[in-house]
Amino acid sequence: METAFDSVDRPAERLIDKCVHCGFCLPTCPTYLLWGEEMDSPRGRIYLMKAGLEDRAGMSAAFVRHFDACLGCMACVTACPSGVQYGPLIEQTRGQIERRYDRRPGDRFFRAALFALIPHPGRLRIAMAPLVVLGWLNDALVRSGMTRVLPRRIQALLQLAPKVTWASLVNRVPERTASAGSKRQTVGLLSGCVQRIAFAHVNQATINVLSAEGCEVIAPADQGCCGALSLHAGRLDEARRYARRLIEVFDRAGVDRIIVNAAGCGSSMKEYGELLAHDPEWADRAKAFSAKVRDVSEALVELGPARAVRHPIPARVVYHDACHLAHAQGVRSQPRELLKSIPGVDVVSPAESDICCGSAGIFNLVQPEPAAELGERKARHIAALEPDVIATANPGCTLQITAAAARLGHRWRILHPIELLDRSIRNEN
C-alpha cells in the first residue's frame, strides 16, 4: 500500500500536535453527529493524519473515505479551545489524496467533469442554457419522483440545479459603477462563477447597496474563478493558478477593498497569503490581496454610519449562517446587524445554527446521501420558526436549503441579506 503522504504539501506535524484530544469539537461535527464514528470526527481525522505521517496508516480506501466524508465546514475550528487549525490540515491531506490516490474510474470522471465545468463561467452558461427552457421539466420530474431511478449523484445534480433565465445567462454587471454622492471608497467586486450566472441578481444588489453607501464599484470583466472549490477539494496547484490570476486582475484595478458576496469564495481569497506563502514571486502580493478581502456585510459595517435610508420590510427572517462565513471567517454579527438595520425585520436563528446544511462546496454532489440528511435536518429547524424569508450569504447554501425544503414540501423565499437590504433601500419588498 502507498504511504499516506509524500513530501509535497504534507499536513504539518506542528499543527497536528496542537490537538489535545479533548473532544470538544465532536458535537459540532456533522459527520460525527450522523454516524457517531470516532474516525468521522475531527479528533479521529487528526489522529489518522498523525498515523499517516508516522507510517502507521497508508493511503487505503478506508483512509480516503474518512477524509472524503469531511465537509470542510470548519465547525471544529470554532469549537476547539486549543486553536487547532484544521483548515490547512484537511486541505493538505486532500491535496495528497487528489494527487496520489487512484479513485474508481466513475468517481474520477464525475469529479473531473465538475472541475472542468463549475469554475468556467463560459462553459457553465452553455451547460445551463437547457435549464432555461427545460427547468420546468426538471422540476416536474424531480417532484414526481421519476428521477429516483437515476444514479444518486445525478439525482443530486438535478435537485440542486439553480433556476436560470435568459437574462441571467447573458446579463453582465457593469464594469464600473459610480458612487451615489461623494465617494468613500473604491471597491472591487468578485463576480463568482455560479454566482454571476444563477445569482446575477445578488451581484446587482451588492453593487446597488455599495454604490448607495458611497462606494465606486469595479467588477473587472476579465476576472476568473477564485479557486475556492479547487482549494477545498485539495486541487492545490489549480487553486494557486486561479489565485495568481485573480490577484493580477484586482491589482490592476487599483481598489481599496475586494468585496465578496459568496462565503466560500471569500474564505479562500482570505487564505491566498498562506496558499502562496512558498512562492517567492507571489507571497507578498498574495498577503496584501488577502488583507483587502471583505465579505460585503463586513465591508458595509466597516464603512461606518449608513447613508442610504432604509424603508420597512415587515418580515420574520431566519438567518442561516454559512459555514464558510461563520466558522472560516468569523463573520456572524455583521450580516445580522445589516438585517436588523431594516425597520420591521425580525431576525431569528434556527436551532443547531453551527451545524452545516450539507452543501459544503461539491460535497452535496459527491456525497449526496449524508448531504441530503443534513439538508433536511436544517430545513426542519428552519420550518420550526415559521419564516417569511430565509437569508443566507452563500449560493451553495441557498441551493441546498431550497432542495431540502422542496423534499419536505416547503417553498421558501431564500435571499441573500444584501438583496433584502437593497430592497429596503429601493423601497421594494
Write out the residues near ligand SF4 by the rule CB under 6 A: 19-25, 28-31, 42-43, 45-46, 70-76, 79-80, 82, 84, 86
Task: Give 126's contacts (C-beta < 8 A, 6+ positions apart).
Answer: none
Tell the smallest beta-carbon distance from residue 85 to ligand SF4 (Å).
10
* Closer Cβ to ligand SF4, 331 or 418, answer by number: 331
Which of 129, 289, 300, 128 has its CA nearest to residue 223?
289
Residue 196 or 232 having the CB closest to ligand SF4: 232
End-to-end CA distance of the chain: 60
DSSP H or E stretch at residue 316: strand 315-320
Strands 257-260 and 345-348: unpaired
Measured from the Cβ of residue 301, the count of other Cβ atoms closer than 10 Å reads: 18
Shortest Cβ distance from residue 30 to ligand SF4 (Å)?
A: 5
Could you tell me the smallest distance in angstroms from the CB atom of residue 18 to ligand SF4? 7
Helix then strand then coil, in percent of the chain rounded to 5, is 55, 10, 35
Distance CA 73, CA 367 (A): 14
Buried b (16+ CB within 10 A) or exposed e, 111-150: beebbeebbebeebeeebeebeeebeebeebbeeeebeee
Min CB(272)–ligand SF4 separation in Å? 20
| Residues linked to residue 391 through DSSP beta bridges, in sequence order | 319, 415
Which C-beta is closer to ligand SF4: that of 67 or that of 319? 67
Tell me how far, at minimum, the Cβ of 353 lies from ligand SF4, in Å. 14
CB-nearer residue toward ligand SF4: 74 or 212: 74
Cα separation, 74 vs 331, whole angstroms: 13
- What is the secondary structure of 52-78 as a DSSP string? HHTTSSBS-HHHHHHHHT-----HHHH
Minimum distance of ligand SF4 from residue 378's CB (angstroms): 14
Minimum distance of ligand SF4 from residue 302's CB (angstroms) = 28
DSSP bridge pairs for 257: 187
For 379, what's the count of Cα atoms within 13 Å in the CB-facing half-sphere?
26
Q: How far is the CB of 74 from ligand SF4 (least distance, A)?
A: 5
Residue 69 or 218 with smaller CB distance to ligand SF4: 69
Query: Based on CB atoms, which residue is closest to ligand SF4, 3 or 82?
Result: 82
Which one, 18 or 316, has the nearer CB to ligand SF4? 18
Residue 38 or 248 with smaller CB distance to ligand SF4: 38
